[in-house]
Amino acid sequence: MEALSGAHPIPLVALVGNPNCGKTALFNVLTGSRQKVANYAGVTVERKEGALLTPSGARVRILDLPGAYSLDPLTPDEQVTADVLLGRRAGESAPDFVVCVTDATNLRQNLRLVLSLRRLGLPMVVALNMTDIARRKGIAIDAERLARELGVPVVETVGVKASGAKPLIEMLDSAAIPARTDGTFEWRTPTAADIERDQAEVRRILRGVGGDRIDGVTLSDKLDAVVLHPVVGPLILAATLFLVFQAVFAWAQWPMDAIKGGVDALAGSLRAAMPDSLLKGLLVDGVLAGAGSVFVFLPQIIILFFFILLLEDSGYLPRAAFLLDRLMGSVGLSGRAFIPLLSSFACAIPGIMATRTIQNPRDRLATIMIAPLMTCSARLPVYALIIGAFIPRRTLPGGLQLQGVVLFVLYLVGVAGAMGVAYVLKRAGAAARFQALMLELPAYHWPNLRNLAIGLWQRVEIFLSRVGTIILSLMVILWALSSFPAPPPGATGPAIQYSLAGHLGSWLAVLFRPIGFNWQISIALVPGLAAREVAVGALGTVYALSASGGDVSGALTPLISQSWSLPTALSLLAWYVFAPQCLSTLATVKRETNSWRYPIIMAAYLFGLAYVGSFITFRVATALSNLG
Amino acid sequence: MYLKYQPAGTKQRAQDAERTRGRARASDAHGEITLTELKTGATARVVSVAPADGAAPKELGRRLAELGFLPGEAVRVVARGLLAREPIAVRVGTGTFALRLFEAACIRVCPEQTPAA
């Protein structure tokens, strides 16, 4: 380590490689981080730094970079990688050392980048990653010979195994790393002849080291013959998505009932045990009725993410993009927009960031603008609450749950809205004439159980910390606004009507009455801007406080099913399909587009769509129920 | 800048001649076709990569080359979409990529003789 520590107090080591070759998995093993890993290109879209303490006690900064096919970037995420490597990034010098990560099963493609990097002149090592899969496929790479041919050290790694980075750590720990020569590295865009010459060199090297075998029809190809089949493929896709929504309702019932029972029991015993006081009000009406009513949806969130993670890890997502590409193209979207849009089903923020993998700025902007119409997981509690209260638990012919079907339809309405907006943007000239696809379809993998467990646990942590921090504090604020000022002596209505929140609600109700919302809903919409789920909690608190009788249970579901009409409930569902995203999404749009223009346009068009959508839903539903 | 990937010599001339004959004629004497015309499941060798449509983005040829669509590499069409037979999934070397037709049209290939089926 002496050599490294000479120039810089803590050396910076960058992980570079083609997309989906396992850089982030390796980064996680090296640094103990838990960055997101999945089986498709473009999971990592920004630089991530972590620290490694080597066995001999040396500290190394490890940099994970977005995957790149070459050092001549075409997309914003590749730009990050090129800028870091060439030392062009403001306030950051080029890395001291490069670990070029390669997929041992796909060296034919990966080695070209190694040759380019070698030309860059930075000290480097080649990590032959996924050697476990290569071995299983019967690919034996002679690492020593490869090192001789390339003139740089080669180590074998397995990014998905805790001990898989040992040879690399030993390498980083040894003094074999040459000191970096200061100065900028000249980079010249290779000509056609250069790339062809590199490929000829790659073929020559592979013949020598035993990696030049090209399998005929692989297992992945056989699967693809079915999964990508023009007729069978879309059926499989539809069935898969349908199963997810069915499971979200069917499997979550038991644990949700258990949590609900626990929260109710706690509220009941607090109500009985505590003397009437402000503290009792805060705990029962604010914390339990508010945050507790959001917490109930944890099982559904876990089930949804279980499926999302499975799909991500198996390599199915890019196949789904393949199947839906034609549809996306017809509304002027880039085929590459699929994965960012799909990520938006978890949360629009990572989805919007994932648009960095889209080359054309206009395509990228169009994708950002429609990403919030994908139903994010924070909307799930709102949908689930209203569906649970108004849609009967009935089994349709064919064993389908009616509630699951309604949920599926809500997601579809969001997607249809997004397609419609994309089409309008296309007609307005915001779409490029040629939308690139060029999407890598990686080999299928069995989902890694450790990965799946970590991913799920992270989602649980995120959800619980949201409930425990932002949702809880908003609920406490809302409780305070709904409890003060106290009603004047001799007041007859519930106390909340005289409070600040009550007044605010009655003003907002003027705006929202045409679409069927009462003042309780109008209040709940406001904190819902900070985080979607809060709307559910807010309804919990508002209804707990506006009940005049003393025998209100903590359960929100029967309460709203009694006090709302069906048209109101449907109108609120329509509102949440379109309603402007939470503020953090708008802030992300501001950051990614570097302008206030687009978040403002986005908020305005979503608000307009939501209002019109709810208005039509409410009026049509009212007319229909009057008929019947 | 826009890169053309072509081996020197006779094929170049054959191609130029073919272009002047117009795109209506699918293949020339050498049996060259664009990747879009390759049958599903059939294998071929890449001959050249260059934007077929003048309006196509100029980086297109370069990026396809960077993905591995380089002269001499083996390609096989794995699957095609239902409508307009788009997109197509193409195996090149040891990787597989989904391409839209305007992308695949940039790649000229020479089908391999397959054992009689």
Q: Which amino acid is at A36?
A: K
DSSP A355-402: GGG-SSHHHHHHHHHHGGGS--GGGHHHHHHHHHHHS---EETTTEEH
Exposure on the CB side of residue A97, measured as CA atoms within 13 A: 29
- Do the chains contact at A438 and B99, CB–CB below 8 Å? yes
Confidence of residue B8 (pLDDT cuts 50, 70, 90): very low
Residues 6 or more apart from A90 whose CB is under 8 A from it? Answer: none
CA pair distance A363, A430, nearest whole angstrom? 7
DSSP B58-112: TTHHHHHHHHT--TT-EEEEEEE-SGGG-SEEEEETTEEEEE-HHHHTTEEEEEP
- The 8-class DSSP code of residue A176 comes to T
Tokens encoding A231:
């007729």
CA pair distance A555, A532, nearest whole angstrom? 19
**Cis (ω within 30 of 0) for the bond into A527?**
no
Tokens encoding A522:
């109008």
Q: What is the mean pLDDT of each run of 10 residues along chain A (628 residues)?
A: 50 90 90 85 86 85 91 88 86 86 90 89 88 86 89 88 85 65 65 86 87 78 89 90 80 84 86 82 79 82 87 89 86 84 85 87 90 88 87 81 86 91 83 76 87 87 84 82 77 76 86 89 83 81 66 65 88 89 85 91 93 94 84
pLDDT beyond 50 at B17: no
- Do the chains contact at A192 and B3, CB–CB below 8 Å? yes
What is the model's pLDDT at position A547?
A: 62
Region of residue A38 (phi > 0: left; psi between -120 and 50: alpha; otherwise: beta): beta
Three-state SS at A119: helix
The whole-number average pLDDT for the span B39-63 is 81
Q: Which amino acid is at B16?
A: D
Residue of A nearest to B99 (CA): A438
Backbone angles phi, psi at A510, to 5 degrees: -60, -40
Looking at beta carbons, which residues of chain B come within 8 Å of A223? none
Looking at beta carbons, which residues of chain B come within 8 Å of A72? 62, 66
Confidence of residue B114 (pLDDT cuts 50, 70, 90): low
List strand residue ranges (DSSP E) for A11-106, in order. 12-17, 48-53, 59-64, 97-103
- The 8-class DSSP code of residue A304 comes to H
What is the model's pLDDT at position A186?
A: 67
Cα–Cα distances in angstroms (integers) from residue B57 to residues A77, A189, A407, in the given order = 19, 17, 41
- The predicted complex's ipTM stands at 0.81
Per-residue pLDDT tens over the stretch A226-278: 999 888 999 999 898 888 878 877 788 788 888 888 888 888 888 888 887 87
Q: Which amino acid is at A239?
A: A
The whole-number average pLDDT for the span B67-94 is 86
What is the model's pLDDT at position A570?
A: 92
pLDDT beyond 70 at B1: no
Q: At what angle do helices A380-390 and A232-250 cross, to 10 degrees?
A: 70
What is the model's pLDDT at position A185?
A: 59
- Is B115 in the A-facing interface, judged by CB distances under 8 Å? no
- The 8-class DSSP code of residue A532 comes to T
CA pair distance A42, A78, nearest whole angstrom? 9
State the pTM of this model. Answer: 0.81
CA pair distance A171, A143, nearest whole angstrom? 14
Mean pLDDT (chain A) is 84
- Do the chains contact at A230 and B81, CB–CB below 8 Å? yes
Cα–Cα distances in angstroms (integers) from residue A582 to residues A337, A542, A606, in the given order = 21, 20, 11
CA pair distance A406, A391, nearest whole angstrom? 8
Confidence of residue B22 (pLDDT cuts 50, 70, 90): very low
Judge residue A212's burial from the number of C-beta atoms within 10 Å of its C-beta, 0-12 exposed, 13-18 middle, 19 or more buried: middle
Looking at beta carbons, which residues of chain B come within 8 Å of A192? 3-5, 65
- Do the chains contact at B82 and A326, CB–CB below 8 Å? yes
CA pair distance A304, A249, nearest whole angstrom? 10
Using H for helix, E for strand and C for coil, what is the string for A212-273? CCCCCCCHHHHHHHHHCCCCHHHHHHHHHHHHHHHHHHHCCHHHHHHHHHHHHHHHHHHHHH
